Amino acid sequence: MTAEEIVEGLVVRKSGAEFAVERGGVVAPCSLPGKMRLSGSPREFLPVVGDRIRFRMERGGARGIVTEVLPRRSLLARVDPSQRSGCSVMAANMDLAVLVFAAREPRFNERMLDRMLVAAECGSMEPVICINKIDIAADAAALDQALHPYRAMGYRAILSSAVTGEGVVELAGLLAGRLSILAGPSGAGKTSLISRVQPGLELAVGDVSAKTGKGKHTTSHFELHRLGAGGYLGDTPGVREFGIWGVSRAALSSHFRDFAPFLGACRFAACTHSHEPDCTVKSAVGSGGLSRGRYESYLRILETLPER
């Protein structure tokens, strides 16, 4: 490739302002030109892992310069936790968002799961629920029952253990040939699962804090790993909060699959299903046709969304 030739590649790693871009099995270090870094464009338009980009090599061929981020077909994004506003794009162009939670240590957080399901669906990604550490579950039957409503909505839900290998073959089969991201709270065992799915990666893993009961960050950046069965799998740094970004108050209910049978029949066309009278969603909650826990998740998310 000549210094002036512009080619396409896949961003497989991002660390600070540096990118590793794969093209034809070769990984080239790349950086952003000053005009792209200083343009004032929203951060969500800058390259992230999973992006297809165009780049050209500097003279001498040591590193590349990003020239363009190609249109995305999917993304996983959340409110920027450092600014409490704006957008933080976690990954782009993923086929699967595998949402990994622990059966114990840390506690299974259904509210965060509901938020991440909304984000994945809004970002045009297929969500898969994975409950890891099933080997230390206090009550595996109760946990399986807790997943029943999600399975009834059509979500794939896997019970796994990076220790015993339970669920790993099923998970590996889903990941083969696809671009996938593992996302979830710190300490859920995402990195250990990747090492089970693709042995030999020698990834660092950590423990759950005895003081806080929350996981410790061991993954400092998001990186895609090539799978022997084809495709790529990435482990993201663990999240401790997940704010919904890019969803309007009016559209939120459409990202709750279990609400679908009850939408469109409320007295008010613009019903938010929170305070309005003659709301079919609220009636379904009252009659037991809709999970109260899921409805409470919806209300909590609704409170965080701007009016416009």
Tens-place pLDDT, residues 80-89:
887 766 888 9
Tell me what the mean pLDDT of segment 250-271 comes to: 95
Q: What is the pLDDT of residues 32-64, one digit of tens each?
A: 887 776 665 566 778 999 999 999 988 777 789
Domain boundaries of the chain, sorted by first residue: 6-69, 75-235, 252-304
Q: What angle do CA 230, 233, 234 make, to 5 degrees?
A: 160
Structure tokens at 103: 């059966």
Among 99, 168, 106, 107, which Cα is nearest to 130's?
Answer: 99
Please check whether residue 208 is in contact with residue 215, taking contact to mean a CB–CB distance below 8 angstroms.
Answer: yes
State the architecture of 252-304 in CATH terms.
Answer: Orthogonal Bundle (1.10)
Q: What is the topology classification, in CATH, of domain 75-235? A: Rossmann fold (3.40.50)
Model confidence at 1, in pLDDT bands (50, 70, 90)?
low
Model confidence at 180, in pLDDT bands (50, 70, 90)?
very high
Per-residue model confidence (pLDDT) at position 212: 39
Tell me what the mean pLDDT of segment 9-32 comes to: 91
Determine which helix (DSSP H) or strand (DSSP E) holds 112, and give its type and residue range. Answer: helix 110-122
Global pTM reads 0.88
Per-residue model confidence (pLDDT) at position 71: 95
Model confidence at 209, in pLDDT bands (50, 70, 90)?
very low
Model confidence at 217, in pLDDT bands (50, 70, 90)?
very low
Per-residue model confidence (pLDDT) at position 41: 58
The answer as to CATH 1.10.10.10 being correct for domain 6-69 is no
Instruction: Share the mean pLDDT of the chain.
Output: 88
Same fold, 75-235 and 252-304: no
Tell me what the mean pLDDT of segment 255-268 comes to: 96
Please tell me the distance from the alpha carbon of residue 111 to that of residue 237, in angstroms, as a whole number: 19
Structure tokens at 202: 């020698």
